[in-house]
Amino acid sequence: MASIIFFSVVILVYGLANYYIFIRDLQALPFEGLLRIGYIVVFWALALTFVAGRILERVWLGPFSDVLVWIGSFWLGAMLYFFLITLLFDILRLVNAVFHILPPDLNGRLPLLRPWLLSGSILVVFLLLTAGFINAINPHIKTVNIHIQKNAGGLTTLNAVLMSDLHLGTIMSNDRLENIVRKANDLNPDIILLAGDILDEDLAPVIRQNLGYSLKNLEAKLGVFGVMGNHEYIGGSEPAYRYLSGHGVLVLRDSVVKIAESFYLIGREDFQKRQFVGRDRKPLDSLMQSVNTDFPVFVLDHQPFHPDSAARSGVDLMLSGHTHHGQLWPINFITRAIYVVSHGYSKIENMHLFVSNGVGTWGPPIRIGNRPEIVQLKIKFGVE
């Protein structure tokens, strides 16, 4: 029921946002003629493509569903910026109606300027999407130095690679994934940690493109470990778990492993587990009973909620993703309001926290205002 309510609200907001853009932009066009009719047809075709493509993927996966998903995904990004531009114009109109900031002669010419303003808006959005797409497909390496004031058996240093939110599916092509895998392997990691949302809901596009083959090429001396994110649960947690486990990822589901007799790694189920399967994940305090806190303790948790609780439990390093740091500006202001840390490094009490903004994308294959990242964690152990 919670999922039904959530998706109903999302569809309602999506429909209202599209309707607002449609009505306001329609007023910029001539009242008669083919241009007006063409606008109506094209607008609603674009607005429906993403939903239609995602539904079609479930019943008839193929090139046509791919085209719909790709077009619809770009429309999601375009919709956001068309909405913001339209809202900005409406705010300016309201301010002008109250304070008369525009010259009287310009007010009289506004009806003639509207088509030009609409054309300019389309050009601006096109340039934003183009730049955002180029940014999204070129992840950079972010290096973070961390010193944990504990001895770790025979280890004095650890070269770890953290990646989150790959969202493998229709939008994540094999070439793009191979580039990510190559960049991660080039860092010669001791361990690779995948912080959830490895899959983008439906498993069928992943199987069709055989993305697991590229995923299996990840190489690390101590192994490749991952946790489930909310998108694995949306698409079906058990099939997701079996697929990832069968392609080289050691998926930790509310479980603890001691690695190289040097440090503990706790992998948590997703924060929203109850919403999808009706069962809570295990409390962190319960999982901590299986560890010896004389050794360093890492927690891999997809959503960076309640890091203060993890710090109080004796965790030394918490690694998360999920936020995408908004992915599209200005959504990052929302993620900053929701999470204690929306992106990057922080320290809470004695615990190190890093939240990655992810290496893939959800929805629009674009990033504006942040970079996709593969995180190299250079961890030093030992009391100074």
Tens digits of residue pLDDT in 302-345: 999 999 999 999 999 999 999 999 999 999 999 999 999 999 99
DSSP 282: P
Of 199-203, 312-316, 324-328, 353-357, where does mean pLDDT reach its minimum?
199-203
pLDDT band at 110 (very low <50, low <70, confident <90, very high): low
How far apart, in Å, are the Cα atoms of 178 and each of 212, 252, 358? 11, 24, 16
Report whether 166 contacts 362 (CB < 8 A).
no
Candidate from 95-99, 121-125, 126-130, 293-297 with smallest mean pLDDT: 95-99
For residue 311, what pLDDT is reported? 96
* Dist CA 303 CA 322 (whole Å): 5
* pLDDT tens for each residue of 9-39: 888 999 999 999 999 988 877 767 788 888 8
| DSSP state string for 81-114 | HHHHHHHHHHHHHHHHHHH--S-HHHHHHHHHHH
- Could you give the CA distance from residue 59 to residue 62 in angstroms, rounded to a whole number? 10
Query: Nearest-CA neighbor of 240 among 201, 281, 290?
Result: 201
pLDDT band at 201 (very low <50, low <70, confident <90, very high): confident
Q: Which pLDDT belongs to residue 35? A: 80
309: its two tokens: 């609780």
Average model confidence (pLDDT) across the chain: 92
CA-to-CA distance for 87 and 372, rounded, in angstroms? 28
- Does the pLDDT at position 105 exceed 70? no
Burial class (CB in 10 A: 0-12, 13-18, 19+), 370: buried
In total, the chain counts a number of residues equal to 384
Q: What is the pLDDT of residue 106?
A: 64
pLDDT of residue 31: 67
Cα gap 53→160, rounded to integer Å: 37
Pairing of strands 250-251, 344-348: unpaired
Domains delineated in the chain: 2-135 (no CATH), 141-381 (3.60.21.10)
The answer to whether 123 touches 356, Cβ cutoff 8 Å, is no
With 80 as the cut, is the pLDDT of residue 209 above it? yes
Q: Given a cut of 90, is residue 102 above it in pLDDT?
A: no
- pLDDT tens for 126-179 read 999 999 999 999 999 999 999 999 999 889 999 999 999 999 999 998 999 999
Q: Which DSSP letter does residue 278 get?
A: S
Give the per-residue pLDDT at 160: 98
